[in-house]
Amino acid sequence: MSYMFEVYYRPPRDPSSEKRMTDQVVALGGRLDCWEDSTGWTGIVLTFEFDDLTKAETAVDALRAQGEQITMGPRPYGD
């Protein structure tokens, strides 16, 4: 089973911020699974996936400490 969480941020797109977050997640054993552009009701969404729950929780804590918006997670993702 894998675990995921989503980071939301307001447009416009910020590639340098996305890279910083992705680099942090990769260093903690995760990967960027999906990038979604903003819609009328959401901002930009980055979905990160981990094979290990403890590492996913560590990444969530680190990103939240930096002020990133993570509404839920990590939570189970797939089988």
DSSP three-state, residue 44? strand
DSSP three-state, residue 51? coil
Give tens-digit pLDDT for 30-78: 999 999 999 988 899 999 999 999 999 999 999 999 999 998 889 998 7
The tally of CA atoms less than 13 A away on the side-chain side of residue 47 is: 11
The pTM of the full predicted model, rounded to 2 decimals, is: 0.92
Cis peptide before 11 (omega within 30 of 0): no
User: Which residue ranges make up each domain of the chain?
Assistant: 2-77
Q: Which CATH code for domain 2-77?
A: 3.30.70.260
The C-alpha atoms of residue 40 and residue 36 are separated, in whole angstroms, by: 12
